[in-house]
Amino acid sequence: MKTLCVHYEGRVQGVGFRYTVKNLAREYDVSGTVENLPDGRVELIASGESDEVDAFLEGIRTSHLAGHISLESPQTIPPSESLRGFAILP
């Protein structure tokens, strides 16, 4: 299992970023959350088998969202047993 916390910077709020990420997550065997941060970034938590998490992130990079992302900062974090499904957080 692999769990990543990824911060996205750029024009990532107010462009449907979270909803697109949630829809993309359905195509992969991943669980997690996506939320807007007060500083204008978006935080993604993604957990699953390493190849699925990597493919999911690549799916985000190659989607129409790519034009809105100026920086992607992934960090490995400890897995969380509480992650089930994929949710947009307020």
DSSP strands (E only) in the chain: 2-10, 30-36, 42-48, 69-76, 86-89
The two three-digit tokens of residue 58, written as one number = 């690549």
User: Interhelix angle for 17-25 vs 50-61, to 10°?
Assistant: 140
Catalytic residue (one of 11, 26, 36, 41): 36
Q: Count the Cβ atoms, other than its own, within 10 Å of residue 88.
A: 13
Catalytic residue (one of 18, 41, 61, 84): 18
Q: Is 18 a catalytic residue?
A: yes
Q: Is 36 a catalytic residue?
A: yes
Contacts (Cβ under 8 Å, ≥6 apart) of 23: none
Catalytic site residues?
18, 36
